[in-house]
Every structure is written in C-alpha cells, then in structure tokens.
Amino acid sequence: MAQWDALVDAALERLASRSLLRATRPIALAAPPALPETFPGPGPWDRAAVEIRLDRATLHQWLAEGGETSSQEEEVGDDLILFSGNDYMGLSSHPAIRDAAVKAAQEYGMGPRGSALICGYTSYHKMVEESLAELKKKEDCLLCPTGFSANMAVMTALGNISSLLAVGRKPAKHERIAVFSDALNHASIIDGIRLVERQQEVVAFIYKHCDMDHLEFMLSHCSMEKKVVVTDSLFSMDGDFAPFPELVKLRRKYGFLLVIDDAHGTLVCGGNGGGAPELFDCENDIDISVGTLSKAAGCHGGFIACSTRWKRLIQSRGRSFIFSTALPVPVVASVHAALYVSREERWRRLVIWRHVQYFASLTKLNITSPIISIVVGSEEAALRAGRHMLRSGFHVTPIRPPTVPPNSCRLRITLSASHSSDDIKRLVDALTPWLPDNHDVQRYAVVPKL
C-alpha cells in the first residue's frame, strides 16, 4: 500500500509545516498492576452478566406497548435471562475486571479529566494501546472514548487528506477520496462518511450488502485514484461476516485501503481473540481496524489499530477524538485486565462457539456467529414476539425502524459465555412460534479456528 503511505506522509508533512501535528504525552501513574487472577472455568460471578431484574413499572410499560391486560402483566416474573446484550465473553462481571477498576479508582479517582491531547492520557492508556496493537497485529493503536467516536475519527481524518493536499482550496472531484461502504454498515461509519461528503472531501458509493460483484463493478468503473473500502466485519443486526477472502482479492487487484469495524468480532473470533481477520487469516490485509471495548471486553471505549503514520494523522485530524474527554483511568485499567483475561481464559471463546453450534442444532438454522437474527416482519409482530419472550423469562428486545428497515423487524439474540446450555434450550423452546420454516444456508458459514 505504498500509494496510501505516500499520501499520509504528504498530509503529515503539510500538517507539520503548519505546526498542526498533535501528539499524546502520557502522564505517568504507578507501576503496571499485578497480573489479574484468571480461572479454568465459569464461576458464580459469570451469571451476573446475564441474570437481570426489571422493575415492575418497566415490565408493565413494556407489556403495555401492545395493549396487554393487567392479568397478563401479573404473570411476568421480575428475574430474566438477558439475551440482548453484547457481553459475548461474560467479562463485565469478572472479578479481575471489577478489582482492576476498584483499585484504580481508589488510587487515582477518575484520573486526569481532559482530552487525550491536553491532559487525559496516562501510562495506563498507553499500556492498553500497546496491548490492542499486539492483539490486532498492527504497528500502533489509538484509544478513543467510544467505538462510535473511533469510526468518526477515522472517516474525518481520511477525508482531511484531500483538503490538506489541495492546499487552501476545496479539492476537485477527481482529487477527493472514493469511499465504498457496505449498505448495512454501522451508523457511526455512515455518519462519518456523510460528514466528510458534505465537506466535499470524499465521494461515497454504497454497494449491496456483502455483494462483491457489485463492489467490483463500482471499483472498475470509478476513475478516482484514491479508493477506500469500509465494512463491518461481523454485522450487528444480521450476524453474518463480511466476505473477507473476496475482499482481500479485490484489495490486491484494485489497491484500495481496507478499513473494517471489528466491533463484534474482537475477542470473540480467532484463537487469540484477534477478531474476524484472525478467523479468516487475513490480518496483514487489513489497513485500519476499528473496534469497541464495550462489547466482548465488557468495559467501555473504542480503538483504532493501524500504522503509526495513520495514528499520527488521526490524532491530529480526527475531531471526535481530539474534542472528547479521554476515558477515565478506572475504565482503562479494567480494559487492560479484560484483555489479559481474554487471552488466558481461552475457554470462554470455546463456550461461545459451542453455544452457537448448540443453538443451530436445536433450530436447524445455519447461523454463523453469536448474533442471531429472527426476522418477524412488522413492528406489531416484533412487539408481540418481545412480549412473549418477556413472559417466558427472557430479555430479548424487539428491533424496529430506524435501526432496521420497515417490515424487517426482528428479535436480535446474542449468545454469551455466561449462558448455560439450559438457558439456550429454554430460549429455543420460547422462540419456536417465530422460527422460520425455510432454513436458508448463509453464504459465508465458517468454522471457528480455536
């Protein structure tokens, strides 16, 4: 990707000439914490990640959305099993993550409060960035307040290349960057592209979901030199993977920059938890990997794993990073512990994928990930299904527009290492009225390499 390296270097030189390059300066805290305690199997704390209780008023309100009667309301218990969260590894309740946050809070409070470029970046933040760069097999990493802000920062920095190289004028259309985005990409990617498109820095092209023929058609007919393809790695509402083998072939043919949002794959996929690229053995073909720490890590925050040159550009031009307060130290300490636990407690990934296989065997659905989408159609049907699941003892939130298109409302189910086989069996029994009769095979079924 020599062309893109040269473009980023030219943009960095332009920023340096105007004294606009920014860098983080770590505030040194104490020596790194002791290694967290890990366990060979599930503990009683794991159930806290999936066992929840709703207050009665909330239960009544949920049921009232579809006009349920008071007698039906009274039949619903307060205790529910959560099948709507994204805590795939069950780490949010792990003793090591709790202890790390508590110890950091006791020693440092929330830590320095300010943006990372002013005073909010500490040796703890640096330590987590190094761990994530190693996990993602990238040269460097930038820690962000959220996954949403991470995607926004990448898109705005990317668009700024056009403006920086145009030197004091709006870039002409042929000088802008062509961004090819999957039709079902996350809102943070879409909003980032819309922002830089309005600033006349990129031209956006939307290709049909996971349709590589459509993508190649657009690539081959685009005369713009600077091309980027951005895609979710594991799509949050459908549970299918991006077609990585085909994407890699197209990258090598057309020389585009490949940016992925691995929010739902990080720590879940691959033997080391490196995410979807590790699962598909294409880590070296990913140029920028965006992720979140609020899902499988069980904590909070986002990150951008990339080269050092890209990091320098993003932290200098990524507005959502520059103008946001940095993550509190206790949160960062808990992330550091979560990354260690994920590496040591590999059995958690094995449990997740066993759950996927078990759910598939019970339902005869060809699911490919811990995200399972049961499309029921109308909003009324989705609300009715949600109420049924509630009465059956499960928290499964109906997904409706604008999150999904009209008449594609669904029950979105997520499996966690904290669930038991009995939880899944009872869930499937409750789901039976909404399971489809036609079990289409998903195109990119994979067997996890663990």
136-159 confidence digits (pLDDT tens) = 999 999 999 999 999 999 999 999
Query: Token digits for 81?
Result: 């099993």
Q: Is residue 30 part of a domain?
A: no
Last residue of a domain, one of 309, 344, 379: 344
**Confidence class of residue 450 from pLDDT cuts 50, 70 and 90?**
very low
Is residue 84 scored above 60 in pLDDT?
Answer: yes
CATH code at position 418: 3.90.1150.10
Q: Is residue 9 part of a domain?
A: no
**Confidence class of residue 61 from pLDDT cuts 50, 70 and 90?**
confident
Average of pLDDT values for 88-96? Answer: 97
Average of pLDDT values for 78-103? Answer: 95
Q: How many residues does the chain have?
A: 450
Is residue 1 scored above 90 in pLDDT?
Answer: no
Is residue 71 scored above 70 in pLDDT?
Answer: no
Give me the residues paired with residue 51 across strands. Answer: 81
Counting beta carbons within 10 angstroms of the beta carbon of residue 40, is it exposed (0 to 12), middle (13 to 18) or buried (19 or more)? exposed
134 and 204 inside one domain:
yes
139 and 161 inside one domain:
yes
- Helices 56-64 and 379-391: angle between axes, nearest 10 degrees: 150
Report in angstroms the alpha-carbon separations of 335 from 46, 89, 342, 376.
17, 13, 10, 37
What's the chain's average pLDDT? 92
Q: Is residue 141 part of a domain?
A: yes
189 and 333 inside one domain:
yes
Least confident of 166-170, 409-413, 436-440: 436-440
CA angle 119, 122, 123 (to 5 degrees): 155
Q: Is residue 355 part of a domain?
A: yes
190 and 323 inside one domain:
yes
Q: Is residue 14 part of a domain?
A: no
Residues 185/230, Cβ–Cβ less than 8 Å: yes
- For residue 268, the enclosing domain spans 98-344
Is residue 449 scored above 50 in pLDDT?
Answer: no
196 and 55 inside one domain:
no
What is the per-residue burial (b if ≥16 Cβ within 10 Å, else e) of 306-317?
bbebbbbbbbbb
108 and 234 inside one domain:
yes
Is residue 67 scored above 70 in pLDDT?
Answer: no
pLDDT in tens, 314-339: 999 999 999 999 999 999 999 999 99
360 and 350 inside one domain:
yes
Is residue 25 scored above 50 in pLDDT?
Answer: yes
What is the pTM for the complete model shown? 0.93
156 and 273 inside one domain:
yes
Is residue 441 scored above 60 in pLDDT?
Answer: no
The confidence score (pLDDT) of residue 75 equals: 58
Domains in the chain, number: 2
185 and 315 inside one domain:
yes
The confidence score (pLDDT) of residue 120 equals: 95
Across 53-57, 148-152, 164-168, 444-448, the highest mean pLDDT is recorded for 148-152
CATH code at position 261: 3.40.640.10
Is residue 240 scored above 70 in pLDDT?
Answer: yes
**Confidence class of residue 116 from pLDDT cuts 50, 70 and 90?**
very high
**Confidence class of residue 421 from pLDDT cuts 50, 70 and 90?**
very high
304 and 269 inside one domain:
yes
Q: Is residue 28 part of a domain?
A: no
Q: How far apart are CA 328 and CA 110, in angstroms?
A: 5
Average of pLDDT values for 332-349? Answer: 97
Q: Is residue 325 part of a domain?
A: yes
Q: What strands, in cross-sheet order, belong to the sheet with 51-53?
A: 51-53, 79-82, 394-395
361 and 375 inside one domain:
yes
Is residue 95 scored above 80 in pLDDT?
Answer: yes
Q: Is residue 385 part of a domain?
A: yes
Is residue 72 scored above 60 in pLDDT?
Answer: no
258 and 148 inside one domain:
yes
The confidence score (pLDDT) of residue 444 equals: 38
Could you give the percent of the chain with pLDDT greater than 70? 94
Q: Which residue in 259, 280, 263, 262 sits closest to 271, CA to CA?
A: 280
Residue 58 contacts by C-beta under 8 Å, 6 or more apart in sequence?
Answer: none
Least confident of 50-54, 264-268, 272-276, 369-373: 50-54
Long-range contacts of the stretch 375-383 (C-beta < 8 A, 24+):
375/408, 375/409, 375/410, 375/436, 376/409, 376/410, 376/411, 376/434, 377/407, 377/408, 377/409, 378/407, 378/409, 379/409, 380/66, 381/409, 382/409, 382/410, 382/411, 383/65, 383/66
